[in-house]
DNA sequence: AAGTTCTTCAACCGCCATATG
DNA sequence: ACATATGGCGGTTGAAGAACT
């Protein structure tokens, strides 16, 4: 194959594309092979591009893929955009061959998630070195001391990350549905370092309903529970929505949040 | 060693969006 | 405004190698 590519002649795309990256990369046409420009483009994007990261997908990348997939669904290009050097095709293949099975195997029945308080107490009674965080553990349920000690697997918890205690948001008397805990675990599981990769357009997620969602947010119907490092500083909520409004914890409504996330996935 | 099954992943396909003439 | 070319994307396929019998 390599020799074939050496014998290929290269030319510029017949016309400029709107994508600067694409335009900067010459499209290779192979006269001796049955390769159209499209095939060559794919070959370039998925294999030949110099910035492709080789080697196995790391544990951190794997974890991020799982989280992003749960958030975004099969939007491989979006997911790949958060993993520098990885292609959507690679991630798609990795998901279909490896991660899908892993996730299915380790998925915890939702009803068990209600027992987080009990689990947490039990974990705290054990030595920290023995603690193995379960998948999608909610770091917000950890104390600030635990966060700063950064014992949560390999994740690097940003020192500015706030440990928003779920008890502050959802008192025992509230009736969080199991699926809400599940979503909470997913979202709160992102640390700041991971979220620097999560700069996908929030507008896209919210779609045409963004204005209504912002109004709901102002009215306290839709309660945002992320710290300012996540959304506000990244300008995801513009139009005058500030940190204090984002962090309106008056009435926790994870169901609403789940709805608009799930509606896009 | 040979045949079969399983796994991986590059490549293909079809659809839709966008750019261009 | 329209037709055509191209890009982008997700689903699927099939060849090749690994693992198993």
Write the pLDDT tens digit of every residue in A117-151: 333 333 333 332 222 222 222 222 222 222 222 22
Contact between the CB of A43 and strand B at under 7 Å: yes
Residue A97 CA to nucleotide C19 C1', Å?
16
What is residue A37's predicted lDDT score, i.e. its pLDDT?
Answer: 76
pLDDT band for A4, please (50, 70, 90 cuts): very low
Residue A1 CA to nucleotide C16 C1', Å?
15
Q: Mean of the per-residue pLDDT values for chain A?
A: 48
Residue A210 pLDDT greater than 80, yes or no: no
**Taking all atoms of strand C, which protein residues have CB closer than 7 Å?**
A 13-15, 17, 19, 21-22, 27, 37-38, 41, 45, 74-78, 88-89, 92-93, 96
Comparing every residue's Cα with the C1' atom of nucleotide C8, the nearest one is: A77
> What is chain A's alpha carbon radius of gyration, rounded to the nearest angstrom?
22
What is residue A53's predicted lDDT score, i.e. its pLDDT?
Answer: 84
| Best mean pLDDT range from A26-40, A68-82, A170-184, A212-226 | A68-82
In this prediction, what percent of chain A has a pLDDT beyond 70?
26
Contact A48, A28 (CB under 8 A): no
Residue A106 pLDDT greater than 50, yes or no: yes
Residue A193 CA to nucleotide C2 C1', Å?
48
Of A223, A231, A67, A227, residue with least CA distance to A137: A67
What is residue A35's predicted lDDT score, i.e. its pLDDT?
Answer: 66
Residue A220 burial (CB count, 10 A): 14
pLDDT band for A34, please (50, 70, 90 cuts): low
Contact A253, A221 (CB under 8 A): yes
Domains defined along chain A, listed by start? 2-48 (no CATH), 59-106 (1.10.10.60), 110-262 (no CATH)
pLDDT digits (tens, 9 = 90+) for A36-65: 778 888 888 888 888 888 788 888 899 899
Q: What is the DSSP string of A102-119?
A: HHHHHPPPGGGGGGHHHH
Say which range, A72-81, A141-150, A195-204, has the weakest mean pLDDT. Answer: A141-150
Contact between the CB of A89 and strand B at under 7 Å: yes
């Amino acid at each position: 194959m390599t020799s074939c590519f050496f014998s290929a002649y290269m030319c510029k795309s017949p016309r400029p594309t709107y994508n600067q990256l694409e335009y900067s990369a010459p499209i290779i046409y192979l006269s001796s092979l049955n390769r159209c420009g499209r095939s060559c483009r794919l070959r370039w994007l998925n294999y030949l591009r110099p910035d492709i990261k080789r080697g196995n997908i790391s544990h951190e990348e794997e974890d991020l893929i799982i989280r992003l997939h749960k958030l975004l669904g099969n939007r491989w290009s979006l997911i790949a955009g958060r993993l520098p050097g990885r292609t959507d095709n690679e991630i798609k293949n990795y998901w279909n061959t490896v991660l899908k099975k892993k996730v299915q195997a380790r998925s915890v029945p939702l009803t068990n998630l209600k027992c987080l308080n009990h689990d947490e107490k039990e974990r705290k009674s054990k030595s920290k070195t023995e603690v193995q965080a379960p998948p999608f553990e909610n770091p917000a349920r950890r104390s600030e001391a635990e966060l700063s000690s950064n014992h949560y697997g390999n994740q690097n918890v940003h020192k500015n990350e706030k440990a928003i205690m779920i008890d502050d948001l959802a008192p025992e008397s509230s009736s969080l549905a199991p699926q809400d805990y599940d979503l909470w675990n997913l979202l709160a599981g992102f640390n700041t370092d991971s979220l620097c990769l999560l700069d996908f357009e929030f507008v896209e997620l919210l779609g045409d309903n963004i204005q209504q969602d912002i109004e709901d947010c102002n009215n306290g119907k839709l309660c945002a529970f992320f710290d300012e490092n996540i959304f506000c500083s990244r300008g995801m909520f513009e139009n005058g929505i500030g940190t204090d409004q984002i962090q309106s914890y008056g009435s926790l409504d994870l169901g609403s949040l789940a709805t608009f996330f799930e509606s896009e996935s």
